[in-house]
Structure 1
């Protein structure tokens, strides 16, 4: 159990930095696996019957609305100009989240060709990030645009093999733009494309995004070629955890706990005057 509680003490000491980093010179990007945020309507294209009022999880409008409000609470707490989400069922769910948050977020959503029907979405401030091109691939979404005058590619990824496909097909290279990869990925896949694992320091310190066999595991990562990183870490609040210090889930098995997610968010802060490496892919 000490492996679980250790992260609480360490990360609470980082929270003052999170507040102080909200300046005009620093940009924050976050990623959050919201852990299967389905609506209550049965789909004709994939099996989501467990997430219906008559299904295993008794997923009715009250439970759905509470989960939307929980995710909105996390988004509001993060206070990031760019937030990537994974695990939303469709655009209607994304609209409900953006309607529930306090800040005025624009969003990008694409339907993924995936059997569970879970999609990616990007929430962003329209005066910070200026998207120009969106490319969708199986288990990955790439949004190209600008922060200030710097070209940036944000890739939300749930499959390491999809990363290489997107980088090649979009002709993305570290010489021409800053690249930020968020989500599930292997160290081998990111190093192959000359991207640094920005979560390594947090992982070496014993932190993680999920608990697996009573130990923290860094299941979600941020990889980038940006060099002027202010901080990259796991984001944690006491209300995101259960009584054992684990991420408080919506369900444990089929029992309803009314929590947030089985995962914790991750974030990166970097200077708005982006400095990125010039190694070609």
Structure 2
């Protein structure tokens, strides 16, 4: 599959920027330093090379099609969560559905005890990485011990020549309760705001793209904390409804997966990008087709039961138009 149309004049099409929680993209090898035992051939989930390859191909197919209803090309940037290591990232971008796209990626190992990280996939012809680093998220349990959660991935680069500052997030989960863990996600928001403040001391009016699985909805305290005193706009607010979201838990929709942009993406100055629209990529092939969970994300596992689907999250995306 060769995407030669990436060579077309950049002002002639929309540019898709996506985020996708890949739901436990583990290789099959046991890492003695992380809690990945379930995702091995002898683990509870019987995670075999065949199942792994099938999942990689399904995820790659999805990535290649995000936003294709309105864009002429695959995504130029894709933030991902729940990837184990560089091996799975290499396998993902080398898989058949993505082979014809010149993708690279930025990834760092995080201190997460399960060994899952975030990463940013980018199209080399559209995006140039200038700098990247992991931002440590320092949150603590009530007993004072650090919760070794995912770092925040920061990437500074040029999208079609325009400088952008990207944050890829996978904030602490609600596993111990929404209210009990809320302070951790508020701290994540404050961590990004502090980092932005340091950037703004050196760079006037930076372009921000903040994406991730925030484990909170647009109206949650943590997201509102992130929006305070910043120049961010959250187009996902208008997408969340009782009938639609990016994940479904106990038949209730959430929109934990979001992409926010700074307000300077609403100008039309030559050589810049303008925000066009946002959406959830919930095409039928990504959903359960029948039964009581019809319409929900078609996931890889439910507990230990193997379904062979894609992910328990739908991707979300925005599209930008280049002002040539």
Give TM-score, length-normalised by structure 1. 0.84
> Which residue of structure 2 lines up, in the alignment, with residue 207 of structure 1?
244
Report the Cα offset of residue 166 of structure 1. Answer: 4.1
CA distance 1:24–1:69, change in 2 (3 Å): same
Distance 1:104 1:24 in 2: 20
Larger Rg: 2
CA contact (8 A) 2:11 2:321 kept: no
CA RMSD across the alignment: 2.0
- Determine the structure 1 residue equivalent to 2:107: 109
Superimposed CA distance per residue, residues 32-53 of structure 1 (whole angstroms, 9 cap, x where no aligned partner): 0000110111112111111011
- The answer as to 2:267 corresponding to 1:267 is no
Q: Distance in 2 between matches of 1:93 and 1:104?
A: 17
Q: Is the 8 A contact 2:241 2:253 kept in 1?
A: no
Report the equivalent of 1:177. Answer: 206
User: How far is the alpha carbon of 1:219 from its aligned partner?
Assistant: 1.2
* Residue of structure 1 equivalent to 2:190: 164
Shift of 1:206: 4.2
Distance 1:86 1:96, change over 3 A: same
Match of 2:287 among 241, 257, 262: 241
CA contact (8 A) 1:106 1:124 kept: yes
2:75 is paired with a residue whose SS is coil
Q: Which runs of 5+ in 1 are unaligned?
A: 1-21, 275-281
TM-superposed CA distance for 1:167, in Å, is 4.4
Partner residue of 2:51? 63
The worse-fitting range, judged by mean Cα deviation, of 244-253 and 131-140 is 131-140
Gaps (5+ residues) in structure 2?
1-9, 67-73, 138-149, 172-184, 215-221, 267-273
Q: State whether structure 2 residue 281 is matched by structure 1 residue 231.
A: no
Aligned length: 253
CA offset at residue 121 of structure 1? 1.5
Q: Mark the CA change 1:205 to 1:267 in structure 2 (over 3 Å): closer, same or farther.
A: farther
Matched-pair contact (CA < 8 Å) for 1:147–1:272: no
